[in-house]
Amino acid sequence: MPNSECSVTHVKEALEDFARRDDVYSDAFASTLILQPEYDVDIEDTIERVSRDTSFAQVYSYRPSTQDGRLPAGPYFIRSGSIHQAWRLYEDNLDAFIIPTITDGVLNPESFSVLHAVAEHGSFLSDAVPSRLYHHKDESKLLAGVRVSIKDNYDLAGIRTTMMNRAYNELYPPRETSADFVVKLLELGAVIVGKTKMSAFASAEEPTDQWVDYHCPFNPRGDGCQTPSCSSTGGRGLFGRLLVARSFYRQ
């Protein structure tokens, strides 16, 4: 947070706001505080006061060399002397994702990688989401921070388009570019969290017996064992469980 907001009161109010608005932040991040002063502002007195009057074990200052280098407020962790964003893993217990993804560049998400993470008990994959605090909407970023899943028939740079067919998946390499629609979502600030399952080639397969190469997702409604129906089962299931804010698909 900027120096003008670094009073003890503002720090406590900010942490309460973090906990209220964000599902990634937790009290575990409240042991260390990093302040971001303006380039020509001395904050030694502020650091001493905050260290004395709060429960932080450590208080640091981070002074970026440019305005673009300023970090948005939120939870971070330090590893090997570098500051990294904190993302939260959710268990995909609906088996809705065919490929959970993570961006190669959090500040400029043009390409993606497969997220290699298994849920704690090993039965399902995990999906990663960033803190909601990193993103701020404006007229040019109307979808800033909105978590989005896309159906597997949309291309995503760095990720295979499987079409839910094993032979097709083995034949074609990861896509080099994203579909125009996906590029537009990214330009508006959306956060792509993965590609969701569909029927093979978006055909009229009836789950579950006609899904041959990959198992269909579970339906979150009722007892969880109802037919998910239609070719966009993965995205609809996630939206039903409110795990993502938007699921984009086409019939």
Q: Please determine, for residue 39, whether its predicted confidence score (pLDDT) is greater than 70.
A: no
pLDDT digits (tens, 9 = 90+) for 48-61: 888 887 778 888 88
Structure tokens that stand for 193 in this block: 């969290």
Do 185 and 237 share a domain, yes or no? yes
pLDDT digits (tens, 9 = 90+) for 220-246: 887 888 888 778 888 877 765 545 555
| Strand pairing report for 147-151 and 191-196 | parallel
Range of the domain at 152: 88-245
Residue-level pLDDT at 243: 56
Provide mean pLDDT across the span 142-160.
95
Kindly report the backbone phi and psi dihedral angles of residue 113, in degrees, each rounded to the nearest multiple of 5, phi listed first: -130, 160
Residue-level pLDDT at 235: 80
Last residue in a domain, options 85, 112, 137:
85
Domain count, the chain: 2
Nearest to 124 by CA among 237, 16, 13: 237
pLDDT digits (tens, 9 = 90+) for 108-149: 899 999 999 999 889 999 999 999 999 989 999 999 999 999
pTM of the model: 0.86
> Rounded distance, CA 189 to CA 206, Å?
35
The reply to whether 161 falls in a domain is yes
Q: Please determine, for residue 24, whether its predicted confidence score (pLDDT) is greater than 60.
A: yes
Do 116 and 50 share a domain, yes or no? no
The DSSP string of 218-233 is: PP-STTTTS---STTH
Do 93 and 13 share a domain, yes or no? no
